């Protein structure tokens, strides 16, 4: 435990407390004890680090603190605890059970301790970091515990402020994502109204594609908001959800869409282009791969190979139409090329029945 105090034995250049002496002995790792000169240097280091030392004689239940530890706790040497129970009175009530269990566990089966707790002296709450060593007799019975403490209150304050700032930032980002999703849904609704007024079938189809692209991005923001995340996206779950939406919205009854996507966490910035590629290629397959009343199958696969992701989208139909020689590629194909470039992906379109796109790219962790 935290060990209190040897009466009248202060830390000084000429004389050191038993606690400090044993702390130095423990630091020697069982080697030859340091010379007086080395001991003075160690004492200087203890002072510079504002570290206090203590010793607890387990069989006698006597505790000693050096003067440095008394200063750390803000008490006079005469006020320092002399037994384990007296020491526990210095521990914050909410931390007392944890400290006691930690010490008991070390006495039962351990040899070293390292933990933090709050102390309370006269209403002043301080965070204490303690590291200590237990020595045993030849039969394994606990003899003494010796350790050193430092005040980490300032570090804890900075950590608390950091955590509170991060929590506020997370709430703000989630609210921003929620509003972004709502705004994108509003954009999609406005596009739908505009599409309904189009008399030209080609123009109406272009509006429908634009609406679906907006919905893909809105779906990502909705997923982030619902899962209490800011940048972490399970790409496999996102792709499966997207394929489910596409199946319900654009697939004819004679078509099937199969999706197998491994669970893998990526940054949201990477999830958007991947989802856009899936949306474009599945939509194009629905439109071009199965003319007339032909039956067909479309599939989407996402595999993780270490830090490398492999995405495949294919169909067993007649394939996507190819641009005429010297002609301009369609908007959807040019968009896929641009998104693949954004992912720094290696793209492959193997020959064979239907059309298959294979993209390999490095995972961007959240």
- Band the pLDDT of 346: cuts 50, 70, 90: very high
pLDDT tens-digit profile of 219-248?
776 766 666 666 788 999 989 988 998 888
Inter-CA distances, 143 with 61, 101, 261, 276, Å: 10, 18, 59, 68
Contact 354, 289 (CB under 8 A): yes
Widest CA span of the chain, in angstroms? 100
Burial class (CB in 10 A: 0-12, 13-18, 19+), 161: exposed
CB-based contacts of 220, cutoff 8 Å, min separation 6:
233, 238, 268, 271, 272, 275
CA pair distance 65, 77, nearest whole angstrom? 8
pTM: 0.53
pLDDT value, residue 225 = 63
- Give the residue, 73 or 214, on which the prediction is more confident: 73
Mean pLDDT of 122-129: 89
Contact 286, 328 (CB under 8 A): no
Inter-CA distances, 296 with 212, 257, 281, 284, 327, Å: 22, 9, 15, 13, 28
pLDDT value, residue 12 = 32
Tally Cβ neighbours within 10 Å of residue 23: 26
Per-residue tokens: 143 = 């003899």
pLDDT value, residue 262 = 94
pLDDT value, residue 220 = 73
- Give the residue, 150 or 225, on which the prediction is more confident: 150
């Amino acid at each position: 435990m935290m060990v209190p105090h040897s009466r009248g034995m202060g830390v000084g250049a000429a004389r050191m407390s038993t606690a400090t002496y044993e702390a130095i002995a423990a630091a020697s790792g069982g080697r030859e004890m340091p010379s007086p000169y080395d001991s003075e240097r160690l004492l200087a280091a203890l002072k510079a680090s504002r570290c206090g030392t203590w010793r607890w004689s387990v069989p006698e239940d006597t505790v000693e603190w050096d003067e440095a530890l008394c200063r750390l706790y803000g008490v006079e040497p005469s006020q320092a605890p002399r037994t384990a129970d007296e020491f526990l009175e210095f521990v914050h009530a909410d931390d007392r059970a944890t400290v006691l269990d930690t010490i008991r566990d070390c006495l039962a089966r351990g040899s070293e301790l390292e933990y933090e707790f709050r102390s309370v002296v006269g209403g002043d709450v301080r965070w204490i970091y303690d590291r200590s060593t237990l020595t045993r007799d030849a039969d394994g019975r606990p003899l003494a515990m010796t350790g050193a403490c430092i005040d980490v209150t300032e570090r804890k304050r900075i950590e608390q402020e950091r955590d509170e700032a991060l929590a506020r930032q997370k709430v703000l980002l989630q609210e921003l994502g929620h509003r972004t999703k709502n705004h994108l849904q509003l954009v999609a609704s406005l596009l739908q109204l505009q599409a309904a007024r189009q008399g030209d079938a080609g123009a109406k189809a272009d509006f429908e594609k634009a609406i679906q692209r907006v919905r893909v991005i809105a779906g990502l923001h909705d997923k982030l908001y619902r899962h209490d995340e800011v940048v972490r996206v399970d790409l496999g779950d996102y792709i499966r959800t997207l394929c489910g939406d596409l199946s319900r919205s654009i697939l004819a009854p004679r078509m099937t869409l199969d999706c197998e996507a491994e669970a893998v966490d990526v940054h949201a910035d990477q999830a958007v282009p991947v989802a856009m590629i899936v949306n474009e290629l599945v939509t194009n397959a629905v439109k071009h791969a199965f003319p007339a009343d032909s039956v067909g199958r479309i599939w989407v696969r996402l595999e993780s190979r270490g830090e490398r992701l492999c995405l495949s989208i294919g169909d067993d139909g007649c394939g996507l139409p190819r641009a005429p020689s010297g002609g301009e590629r369609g908007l959807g194909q040019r968009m896929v090329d641009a998104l693949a470039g954004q992912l720094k992906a290696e793209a492959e379109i193997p020959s064979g029945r239907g059309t298959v796109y294979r993209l390999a790219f490095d995972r961007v962790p959240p």
